[in-house]
Amino acid sequence: MIVTVLHGSPRKGKNSDTLVDYFLSGLNYLEEHNINHFYLNELEISPCQGCLSCAEYPHSCRIIDDMQSIYESYKTSNIIVWASPMYWGYITAQLKLVQDRMEALAWSGFEDKIFVVILTYRHHYQSTASMFQRIAPHFNIDLHILECCTYDKETKKDVPVSEINDKIKEAYQLGLKIGNKK
pLDDT 10s digits, 141-180: 999 999 999 999 999 999 999 999 999 999 999 999 999 8
pTM for the structure as a whole: 0.97
Confidence (pLDDT) at 150: 97
The boundaries of the domain holding residue 168 are: 2-181
Confidence (pLDDT) at 181: 79
- CATH number of domain containing 111: 3.40.50.360
Which residues in the chain come in under a pLDDT of 70?
182
How many Cβ atoms from other residues are within 10 Å of residue 107's Cβ?
A: 15
| Sequence-distant (≥ 6) Cβ neighbours of residue 11 within 8 angstroms | 85
Confidence (pLDDT) at 15: 98
CA distances from 72 to 29, 62, 66, 77, 91 (A): 26, 15, 11, 9, 23
Confidence (pLDDT) at 182: 59
CA distances from 157 to 40, 120, 152, 160 (A): 27, 15, 5, 10
Do 34 and 1 meet the contact criterion of CB atoms below 8 Å apart?
yes
Count of the separate structural domains present in the chain:
1
